[in-house]
Every structure is written in structure tokens, then in C-alpha cells.
Amino acid sequence: MDAINSLLDGFAVALTLQNLGLAVIGCFLGTIIGALPGLGPANGVAILIPLAFTLGLPATPALILLTSVYYGAMYGGRISSILLNIPGDEPALMTTLDGYPMARKGQAGEALALSGIASFVGAFIATIGLVFLAPLLVKVALLFGPAEYFALYTLAFATLGGVASRNQAKAAIAAAIGLGIAMIGVDHQTGVPRFTFNDVYLYDGIHFLVAIVGLFAISEVFLFLEHRGEGEAGAGRLTLGRVTAPLRMIRQTIGAMLRSTVLGFIAGVLPGAGASLGSFISYTFEKRLSDKDNTFGKGDPRGVAAPEAGNNAAAGGALVPMLALGVPGSGTTAVLLAMLLTLNVTPGPLLFQSNPDVVWGLIAALFLANVMLLLINIPMVSLFVRVLLVPPRFLMPTVAMISFVGIYGISGSSFDLIVMIAFGVLGYLLRKLDVPLVPIILGVLLGNEMEKNLRRALTISDGDWSILWSSPLAIGLWTFAIVGFLAPLIVGRYLRPKIADEELGEGADPD
Amino acid sequence: MSDRVFGVVCILLAAFFIWQATEIETGFIVDPLGPSAFPIIVGVVLGVGGIYPIVRPDPAPDWPAPARLLEIVFAVAVMIAYAMVLPRIGFVVATAVAAGLLGWRLGSGPVAAAVGGVAIAVGIYVVFHLILGLSLARGPWGF
């Protein structure tokens, strides 16, 4: 049981005072970020990365802080879903369906407690899954050569475009934009400048944090400006009642939680799916299975437990490909990958061998963060409810200014700030046009690796392109990529959250 | 219509990108593929992808009314001005003004916006600079 031993070593890393402290701060901030409508896990983590970086935290503590934020945001999203009928972030969308009716029935406290427990069950079991699945995946990944890696990256883009987006062509455009941005700067292999227009600032390329913060955080400010005054939540009358879930209710929903955890975890592991899909699949499956008396949508506790267990399990599952292969499966894990790259830690199979303390320390910290989150989220939930009352007219300028602080801290140049604003405008336009932003981020992050592997493969074969599909492993990856991209076209649109289309058609924050 | 414009922009961008890629001068270190092949592939994907929204556009998004669009342009202008003057006048003053202006346009009253701007600037300064030790832009007055 190698995994267990490594995990115990991980606990030794995580159980230092500093790391525990960072996990507490991360959980706390994450819950707030998740709870606030307009700030989701992806843009919340994106704003915090430059800060963690400029504060000079080493890799393990920085990763612990930010993954705690990630897990915390998954917990926090349910609060405004249940109380205000506004999802705090996209994965929490399904929780509104039964959570808000429960709150209307005077069961807000019960719904919050139950969803907290469901989040805990989902995230905890998914983290156990991560412990066992990630090392297995690493064993496979060690067999990968450059050709297989190139196929794997293509697979990530293909499934991201196929399963998780509404329009394959727009996803392909987004991926190409991201890859194109990654090409800017001096070519790593031959040292020639590309797309720099002889501008010194561009020789280093565009820093992916600048792109990420601009696309996710600054564009959010513009969307808020556009929708100013619409749907200002009447949060004045919030009666919580007792924040406990009766034992009977837990017994009634435990089956739903466990089933949803499995579904959510699988959805998370698949590249390109992520937590929104996890909660959607969990809810629809549970509804089909147990909605015998037509109670779903009218405040059925199982309808609260299922999506919450599902999205938290997916959050854990999404870390599997990110850590084991270096290929993120969702928006937030892409952002976490950005942080690892900033810290000069390259995720992938070698990470498990060369930096086991980082990986296992992180996983141990996730277990601890989960317990903390359960403790924070049930007794202290009324504190977070008060945070919801902060009006966007103070929140959004703060978000913008913290973004500027973080990016300025990296390079201290006005040029980067202006590039960030440009990305903010681009992000706003693309969100209006319903072009997904996650493939752009993935392209910016993976572009150079992808090109490097392609060129290495062709150097090995001396220019013969057939090397790309010469091994069974590579053929398998290509097949999966093609199926992943085209299947949604053929199977129809069953996999896609239909409600998400209507309510969050624009500006949906990717998980 | 918006989608058609978007598709055309993508194709033009792809053409420009591919043209620039062919202009890359190769150095004396050469690998079989060279530095311009992958960008050309990316450009082709972008160009081909751009055809679809022209042929089958999605329903147009509801663009904001001109007044709101002006608000966004104003916010962009405030941010760019902020980025330019930040190193010259220092973090606290620049941030107080920028955050105040943004807050005002997001619906605060003038007084509340000014107070909010100062509070945000001082709050960030205290938390990130004094407590966490992050270096922020120093103006002529040292803050």
C-alpha cells in the first residue's frame, strides 16, 4: 500500500502550524468567494495566485492555500443558491432547484446543514479516490512519449470543446486563440522571436496569469457594470432557523449522496467536464431514480444533497488528471495548473517521483481542509450569510483593485496591467458571444508544451508525421479525442445542463 | 449578426497570424518542424473554426444599450489611466481615485463612492503591504 504510506508522509508535511494556518485561511476565503455571486472558484483562485506568488510562498504552502480556496468555494456556492435563489457559482446552480424551495418552506437552516454534510461526503470520498486513482494514472503516464503527450493535449481540448461547451466551433476558436497567445515570445527551441513585432515587452511572451486574471476577473467587473441594478437581491429577510439537519433527513438522503459522489467523481476525472457537469448529472440521475412522488423541485432534501455531493466530488476528481498528467479538466484546475507553472513545478507523472512532498502534502491538506470546511460551514454559516449582504458596488471595485495589485506585484510594469485590461475587454466580448473561456486558458497554459512535444516527436521520427499515431496508446488517445469531440453532436444534447443555457448563457463562470 | 462579424474577425486574424508565422526567420538551430509549423496549424484551426459562426450564427446576444456601453468604455478608460499613473503617483492615491470612480459608476452616491474608494485603497494597503509585506507602487510620498 504505497499510497497509504505516501499519504502518511503527506500528513507530516501538512500538519505544520504554517500549513494548517494557510488551510484555515484558504477555507475561509474560499467559502466567501464561493458564496458571493459573481465570484466563483476560477476567478477567485485566479485573483489570489499572483498574491500567493508575490508573497513568496514556497510551492507546497501556496498549493495548500489555493486548493483550500478551491474546495471552500465549492462549499460556499450553495449558500446563496439556497437563501437567495442565485447560484454563488456555476456548479451551485442545480442546488437552487430544491434548496431555495426548502428555504421558502422555512427549512433554510436544514438545507444549509444538509448541503454542508453532502459537500463533505462528496469531497471526502473523492479525495480518497484521488489517493488511489492518481498513482495508477501516473503508472500509465510514465509510458507516454512526446507523441502520446501531443495526443493527450489534443484530447483535453477535444473533450473540453465537445462535452463542456455549447458550440464546438467556438470552443475550437477559443483553443486556437489560447494557443496563438502562447506562441508569442521567443521560441524555446530555436531562440527566434515570434509574433513580437520587435517589442521588447513581448519577447518573454504574455504571462498566463495576466491573461487569466484579465479574462476571468476584470471581465466580471464589466459584466456587473452592464447589469447594474438588475436583480439586486432582496436579502433583507433571511431567517435561518437552526442550522442542523435532523438525523432522519440524513438517513433519507445518504443514498443520494453516495450515488452522486460516484457520478460526480467520474465527471470530474474526465477531462473537460468539471464540477458543473458533475452536479448536473448527479441531480438528473437522482431525480430519475428517486422522484416517485414528484417532490423534486419543490424542496426535496435529496435534490439538495445530490448536486452538492456531486459538485464537490467532481472538484476532487478534477485534480486527478491535473496532478497525474498535467492536463487540467476544468477551469479552476487550469488556474491551479497556472500556479504550479509559476512556481516552477511541472505537474505530471514526474511530479509524483521528484516532488512527492508537494503532491502528498497537498492531498493530506485536502483531507484536513475538508474537515475544517465542515466545521466552518455549519456552525458559522450565519457569518457567511452576512457577507452576502455586501453590495456589488463595493465588491467589484475591490475585486478589480486586488487584481491590479496581484499583477503589478509580478512584474511591476504598467504594460502588464494594460495587457490585463485588454484581456478583460476580450473576455467580456467573448462571454457575450458565448465563446467558452476555459479553452483559451488551457491553450495559453499548454501551448508551449504541446508544441514542444510535437516537435520532439517529429525530431525523433525525422519529420515523419505517422509517429503521432504509431503506438496503441496514442491511437487510443486519438480515438478518445475524436469520440469526445464528436459524440455530443451525435448523441444530442443530453449531457449539457439545459438550465445553465438559459440562466447563465452569458458570463457563466467556469468551475 | 454578431456571430458573423466574430467569424470574419477570426478568419482575418487567422490570415494575419499565418502570414506572420511564415515571416518567422529561422535561426541556425533547426529541427525538422521548425518554429513556424505549429503556429500555422493553430492559424488554420482558427480560420476554419471562424467559418462556422458565419454559416450558422447563434442568436445575437443582447448587447447593452449605448449608455451602458459608454459606462463600460469609461471603466476601461479609468483602468488604463490607473495603470499608467500608478507608478508615478503611488498606490494609495491612484487606487482611491480609481476604486471611487468605479464604485460611483456601479451605483454608489458620490460621497459613498469617495469614502468607499479611500476605504478600499487603505484597506488593501494595510492588509497587503503592512501585514503581508507585498511591495506596492510607491509614489512621491512613499505610499
Q: Do A185 and A194 meet the contact criterion of CB atoms below 8 Å apart?
A: yes
The whole-number pLDDT of residue A229 equals 63
H/E run at residue A177: helix A168-183
Please list every residue in chain A whose beta carbon sits closer than 8 Å to the beta carbon of residue B128. Answer: 51, 405
The whole-number pLDDT of residue A125 equals 94
Calculate helix-pair angle for A108-141, A95-104, nearest 10 degrees.
160
Whether residue A230 has pLDDT greater than 80: no
The whole-number pLDDT of residue A494 equals 54
CB pairs under 8 A, 24+ apart, for A429-433?
A: A430/A174, A430/A215, A431/A219, A431/A223, A431/A506, A431/A507, A431/A508, A432/A506, A432/A507, A432/B2, A432/B61, A432/B63, A433/A170, A433/B2, A433/B3, A433/B6, A433/B58, A433/B61
CB pairs under 8 A, 24+ apart, for A8-14?
A: A9/A356, A9/A357, A9/A360, A10/A357, A10/A359, A10/A360, A10/A361, A10/A362, A10/A363, A10/A364, A10/A365, A11/A364, A11/A367, A13/A60, A13/A357, A13/A360, A13/A361, A13/A364, A14/A64, A14/A361, A14/A362, A14/A364, A14/A365, A14/A368
Nearest to A190 among B26, B95, B128 (CB): B26
- Lowest pLDDT segment from A105-109, A205-209, A486-490: A486-490
How far is C-alpha A166 from the geometric centre of its chain's CA atoms?
A: 18
Residues in B 8-47 with any Cβ partner in A closer than 8 A: 10, 14, 17, 20-21, 24-27, 29-36, 38-39, 42-43, 45-46
Asked if residue A232 belongs to a domain, the reply is: no
Please list every residue in chain B whose beta carbon sits closer than 8 Å to the beta carbon of residue A393. Answer: 103, 106-108, 113, 116
How far is C-alpha B14 from the geometric centre of its chain's CA atoms?
A: 21
The whole-number pLDDT of residue B96 equals 94
Instruction: For residue B141, give how far its alpha carbon lies from the nearest alpha carbon of chain A (Å).
Output: 18
Instruction: For residue B28, give how far its alpha carbon lies from the nearest alpha carbon of chain A (Å).
Output: 8
Whether residue A476 has pLDDT greater than 80: yes
Whether residue B48 has pLDDT greater than 90: yes
Q: Is B49 on the interface with A (CB under 8 A)?
A: yes
Closest CA to A8 of A360, A367, A474, A450: A360
Instruction: For residue A30, give how far its alpha carbon lies from the nearest alpha carbon of chain B (Å).
Output: 18
CA angle A100, A106, A110 (to 5 degrees): 75
CA angle A319, A349, A53 (to 5 degrees): 60
Q: Do A162 and A376 meet the contact criterion of CB atoms below 8 Å apart?
A: no
Nearest to B39 among A194, A409, A435 (CB): A194
Return mean pLDDT, chain A: 84
Chain B interface mutation, best of A65, A166, A168, A225, highest count of B Cβ atoms under 10 Å:
A225
Q: Do A88 and A80 meet the contact criterion of CB atoms below 8 Å apart?
A: yes
pLDDT-derived band at A507 (thresholds 50, 70, 90) equals very low
Say which DSSP state B25 is in.
Answer: P
Whether residue A153 has pLDDT greater than 60: yes
Closest CA to A278 of A249, A312, A247: A312
Mean pLDDT of A16-30: 89
Whether residue A510 has pLDDT greater than 70: no
Whether residue A104 has pLDDT greater than 70: yes
Q: Say whether B97 sits in a helix, a strand or coil.
A: helix
The whole-number pLDDT of residue A502 equals 40
Tell me what percent of the residues of chain A surpass a pLDDT of 90: 15
Q: How many CB pairs under 8 A join A and B?
A: 202
Q: Do B78 and B102 meet the contact criterion of CB atoms below 8 Å apart?
A: yes
Task: Look at the alpha carbons of B115, B121, B124, B129 in this order and tell me if their dihedral is positive or negative.
Answer: negative
Asked if residue A233 belongs to a domain, the reply is: no
Question: To which residue does cell 499565418 refer?
Answer: B18
The whole-number pLDDT of residue A501 equals 43
Chain B interface mutation, best of A390, A404, A411, highest count of B Cβ atoms under 10 Å:
A404
Contact yes or no for B108 and A506 at CB 8 A: no
Closest CA to A324 of A348, A345, A344, A356: A348
The whole-number pLDDT of residue B6 equals 93
C-alpha cell at B13: 486574424
Whether residue A94 has pLDDT greater than 90: no
- Lowest pLDDT segment from A68-72, A338-342, A491-495, B136-140: A491-495
- Lowest pLDDT segment from A218-232, A325-339, B54-68: A218-232
Whether residue A503 has pLDDT greater than 70: no
Instruction: For residue B1, give how far its alpha carbon lies from the nearest alpha carbon of chain A (Å).
Output: 11
Please list every residue in chain B whose beta carbon sits closer than 8 Å to the beta carbon of residue A435. Answer: 6
Q: Is B117 on the interface with A (CB under 8 A)?
A: yes
Instruction: For residue A161, give how far its alpha carbon lies from the nearest alpha carbon of chain B (Å).
Output: 12
C-alpha cell at A290: 428517486
Please list every residue in chain B whose beta carbon sits closer than 8 Å to the beta carbon of residue A428. Answer: 72
Please list every residue in chain A whose beta carbon sits closer than 8 Å to the beta carbon of residue B14. Answer: 176
Contact yes or no for B103 and A434 at CB 8 A: no
Distance CA(A156)–CA(A477), nearest Å, equals 10
Q: Is B90 on the interface with A (CB under 8 A)?
A: no
Distance CA(A185)–CA(A194), nearest Å, equals 5
Instruction: For residue A160, give how far its alpha carbon lies from the nearest alpha carbon of chain B (Å).
Output: 15
Q: Is B82 on the interface with A (CB under 8 A)?
A: yes
Distance CA(A70)–CA(A328), nearest Å, equals 14
Contact yes or no for B2 and A433 at CB 8 A: yes
Q: What is the pLDDT of residues A170-205, one digit of tens each?
A: 889 999 999 999 999 888 888 888 888 888 888 888
The whole-number pLDDT of residue A258 equals 92
Whether residue A498 has pLDDT greater than 70: no
The whole-number pLDDT of residue A273 equals 65
Q: How many residues does chain A have?
A: 511
Nearest to B107 among A228, A425, A462 (CB): A228
Neighbouring CB atoms inside 10 A of A8's CB total 11
Closest residue in B to A425 (Cα–Cα): B76
Tell me what percent of the residues of chain A surpass a pLDDT of 70: 92
Please list every residue in chain B whose beta carbon sits closer than 8 Å to the beta carbon of residue A506. Answer: 61
Mean pLDDT of A35-53: 81
Question: To which residue does cell 529541427 refer?
Answer: B31
Half-sphere exposure of A30 (CA within 13 A, CB side): 30
Distance CA(B33)–CA(B7), nearest Å, equals 29
Asked if residue A187 belongs to a domain, the reply is: yes
Residue A471: C-alpha distances to residues A159, A428, A474, B53 (Å): 21, 42, 5, 36
Q: Do A483 and A409 meet the contact criterion of CB atoms below 8 Å apart?
A: no
Dihedral angle, C-alpha B70, B71, B72, B73, nearest 10 °: 50
Nearest to A421 among B39, B76, B107 (CB): B76
Q: Where are the alpha helices (DSSP H) in chain B?
A: 2-22, 37-55, 66-89, 91-105, 110-124
Distance CA(A270)–CA(A159), nearest Å, equals 8
Asked if residue A121 belongs to a domain, the reply is: yes
Q: Do A314 and A329 meet the contact criterion of CB atoms below 8 Å apart?
A: no
Mean pLDDT of B74-93: 92
Whether residue A135 has pLDDT greater than 70: yes
Closest residue in B to A412 (Cα–Cα): B137
Please list every residue in chain A whose beta carbon sits closer than 8 Å to the beta carbon of residue B130. Answer: none
Q: Is B52 on the interface with A (CB under 8 A)?
A: yes
- Bridge partners (DSSP) of residue A186 are A193
Q: What radius of gyration do chain B's Cα atoms show? A: 23
Please list every residue in chain A whose beta carbon sits closer than 8 Å to the beta carbon of residue B38. Answer: 183, 450-451, 454-455
Dihedral angle, C-alpha A510, B4, B6, B12, nearest 10 °: 140
Instruction: For residue B142, give how far its alpha carbon lies from the nearest alpha carbon of chain A (Å).
Output: 16
Q: Do A121 and A257 meet the contact criterion of CB atoms below 8 Å apart?
A: yes
C-alpha cell at A294: 414528484
Asked if residue A236 belongs to a domain, the reply is: no
Distance CA(A38)–CA(A86), nearest Å, equals 10
Tell me what percent of the residues of chain B surpass a pLDDT of 70: 97
Q: Do A269 and A306 meet the contact criterion of CB atoms below 8 Å apart?
A: no
Whether residue A322 has pLDDT greater than 60: yes
Distance CA(A148)–CA(A132), nearest Å, equals 23
Instruction: For residue A156, give how far its alpha carbon lies from the nearest alpha carbon of chain B (Å).
Output: 16
φ, ψ at A355 (rounded to 5°): -125, 60
CB pairs under 8 A, 24+ apart, for A470-476?
A: A470/A147, A471/A145, A471/A147, A471/A148, A473/A143, A473/A144, A473/A148, A474/A147, A474/A148, A474/A151
Closest residue in A to B44 (Cα–Cα): A176
* Structural domains counted in chain A: 1
- Lowest pLDDT segment from A17-21, A132-136, A287-291: A287-291
CA angle A149, A154, A155 (to 5 degrees): 90
Please list every residue in chain A whose beta carbon sits closer than 8 Å to the beta carbon of residue B24. Answer: 187, 192, 194
Q: Do A262 and A132 meet the contact criterion of CB atoms below 8 Å apart?
A: no
Residues in B 93-112 with any Cβ partner in A closer than 8 A: 95, 98-100, 102-103, 105-108
Distance CA(A231)–CA(A37), nearest Å, equals 11
Whether residue B99 has pLDDT greater than 90: yes
The whole-number pLDDT of residue A163 equals 67
Range of the domain at A438: 2-227+243-503
pLDDT-derived band at B44 (thresholds 50, 70, 90) equals very high
ipTM reported for the complex, 2 dp: 0.93
Task: Look at the alpha carbons of A336, A337, A342, A343 in this order and tell me if their dihedral is positive or negative.
Answer: positive
**Highest mean pLDDT out of A265-269, A279-283, A300-304, B7-11:** B7-11
Closest residue in A to B22 (Cα–Cα): A194
Question: To which residue does cell 521588447 refer?
Answer: A200
Chain A interface mutation, best of B12, B23, B36, B46, highest count of A Cβ atoms under 10 Å:
B46
Q: Is B3 on the interface with A (CB under 8 A)?
A: yes
Q: What is the pLDDT of residues A382-436, one digit of tens each?
A: 888 887 777 778 888 888 898 898 888 887 888 999 999 999 999 999 989 888 8
Closest CA to A441 of A225, A201, A212, A204: A212
Q: Per 3-state DSSP, what percentage of chain A is helix, strand, and coil (rounded to 5)?
A: 75, 0, 25
Q: What is the pLDDT of residues A237-259, one digit of tens each?
A: 556 667 777 888 888 888 889 99
Asked if residue A510 belongs to a domain, the reply is: no
